[in-house]
A and B are shown apart, each in its own frame.
Chain A
Amino acid sequence: MTQSEAIRSVAAASRRTRHDLVALRTAEAARRAEAVSEARARAGVDEAALRRAREAWVASLPHDTAALWLALCDVSDPELPISLVDLGLIYDIRRVDTHVDVDCTFTASACPCMAFIKEDIRDRLLEEPNVSSVQVHEVWDPPWTVERMTEEGRAVLRGAGVTV
């Protein structure tokens, strides 16, 4: 799609749907992923091994919350094209009927994006069927370390020029 086609399609969509922040965010995420996937290729990431690791992880998910874990795989860090799950920020997801409790932590207690991340978790889980309320709990113990990242998370960071 050329730049002018892209502008036209966004303009058309905005008149149709009262364009909102979600569309903008999707475009931003695509742009970030493009930059990082080029860099991943440069860093020599073994994409097949990553896929296998992810399939094993999906198979190991608890039955009642598997869909919720997968939903949070769609929620990206506000800066990096890496999901909150791959970053290792989600500690636990519990479900009682249609209410969901999420325990999450942050990479630092002065993380500038805490409010955005909590909003994103809530917004995404409320899109799931049979979820009517979500409570996000901040957990600081055990503290987050890079050890909590998945291999996928490390690959993204290496692609972004951060050594892990």
Chain B
Amino acid sequence: MSRFTEDEIKQKVRDGYILESPDEMTEGYRKSLIVQLQVQADTELMSAPAYWMAAQDAPSTNTQVSAVAIIQDELAHANIAYRILEDMGLDKEQLIYGREPHEFKHPYGFDQPLESWAELVTANGFFDRAGITLLSDVYRNTSYGPLKRALVKVDLEETFHLRHGEVWMKRLAQAGGTAKEKLQRAVDWMFPMTVEWFGLPDDMKRHSGQLEYRLKGLTNDQLRQVWMSATVPLCESLGLEVPAHWSDEEQKYVLDFPFPCEYDAEAKHWDFTSGQISWDRVFERWKQRGPMNERYVESVRRSHAPLGRMMAQAA
């Protein structure tokens, strides 16, 4: 039972207080942190099968080593987040093996098939950039000490993933021809996908436990701006088209497409012509999960039960 009331804890973390143990948490704080950590853990975990699908398209042994090293990092990062969840009384076994695939909380982007090296490196450039945008904000601002310390290493390792994405995007862009076309095609569906990743615009968000409990520092729209401030210049410098630009008038990045809009997952195509849709429609799409959801979840756990049974028989 926490020593603090909800109001007291919100005031204390606003003044810079750092919690060191779950015993200090109020119910509200605990719930908000669990949601945040579940999204973090599930995202890291589900990136592994998504990246592995594309890593099989690596152009050489050394590049495959790089891709697999990224996958290893992601699984380790998932472990860190699940372990912190265990400290808070949740069961990692149940979280990974006891949930239905649609109950995982990773973003819709990791329900999509990554089908080529170009899509893998664009995912490293865009999705990992989204991850580092969110997690470095958590690192800077979180009021939960154990998470802050764990994120130092995560943050450093993510830098290599970004570098991998950006360097390879540059190589493919400079190669021109079919290589650049494939890259542009990847950018076309992944850019809006990542913009949407950051969630509801600020003017629609009711209240955010994550901000009130100092579990993060920036709002969804601010984080979206941070992501675009790295991604738009990157793509422009590589001669790639993106549906967003810097506006001197508004002093921020603005989108050149109706946001949010319909997505055809089968064709990997955003419908910019039918206008804006409601966020309820987006949440519905997210809730139904994307085309690879079941396959990705099963691929990280398919041998768990059968092999467990074999071992038990042998014992």
Contact = CB atoms under 8 A, between A and B. Distances in A.
Given A21-B170, A116-B167, A15 B246 contact: yes
A117 B162 CA distance: 15
Nearest to B163: A78
Nearest to B246: A11
B300 interface: no
Interface stretch (B45-53, B233-241, B262-270, B304-312): B233-241
Contact of A6 (B62, B160, B229, B252): B229
Interface residues of A, number: 39
A28 B234 contact: no
Contacts of A21: 166-167, 170, 234, 237
B82 interface: no
A1 interface: no
B204 to A, nearest CB: 20
A114 B66 CA distance: 9
A114 B62 contact: yes
Interface stretch (B206-214, B218-226, B271-279, B289-297): B218-226
A41 interface: no
Interface residues of B, number: 37
A23 B237 CA distance: 11
Interface stretch (B15-23, B88-96, B147-155): B147-155
Interface string B244-264: 001000011100000000000
SS class, residues of chain B in contact with chain A = helix
Interface centre among A7, A25, A31, A80, by most chain B C-beta atoms within 10 angstroms, is A7
B162 A28 contact: yes
B218 to A, nearest CB: 7
A10 B155 contact: no
A121 interface: no
Interface string A11-53: 1001100111101110110011001100100000000000000
Contacts of A31: 136, 155, 159
Contacts of B68: 112
Nearest to A35: B152
B70 A112 contact: yes
B162 A10 contact: no
A8 B234 CA distance: 15
A143 interface: no
Contacts of A79: 156-157, 159-160
A19 B153 contact: no
A78 B152 contact: no
Contacts of A23: 233
A3 B230 contact: no
A7 B156 contact: no
A35 B236 CA distance: 29
Contacts of B62: 114-115
Contacts of B156: 32, 35-36, 79-81, 160
A80 B153 CA distance: 9
Contacts of A159: 152
B24 to A, nearest CB: 21
A39 B229 contact: no
B65 interface: yes
Nearest to A159: B152
A4 B225 contact: yes
Nearest to A11: B246
Contact of B160 (A39, A112, A160, A162): A112
A113 interface: yes
A111 B63 CA distance: 10
Given A3-B226, A35-B155, A161-B153, A19 B236 contact: yes
Nearest to B162: A28
- Name the 9 nearest CB pairs between A and B, nearest first: A112-B69, A14-B233, A19-B233, A112-B66, A7-B229, A11-B246, A79-B160, A78-B160, A20-B237
Interface of A: 3-4, 6-8, 10-11, 14-15, 18-21, 23-25, 27-28, 31-32, 35-36, 39, 78-81, 110-116, 119, 159-162
Interface of B: 62, 65-66, 68-70, 136, 139, 149, 152-153, 155-157, 159-160, 162-164, 166-167, 170, 218, 222, 225-226, 229-230, 232-234, 236-237, 246, 251-253
7 contacts: A3-B226, A14-B236, A32-B156, A112-B66, A112-B164, A116-B164, A119-B167
Given A18-B236, A28-B159, 6 more contacts: A3-B225, A10-B230, A10-B233, A14-B233, A18-B237, A159-B152
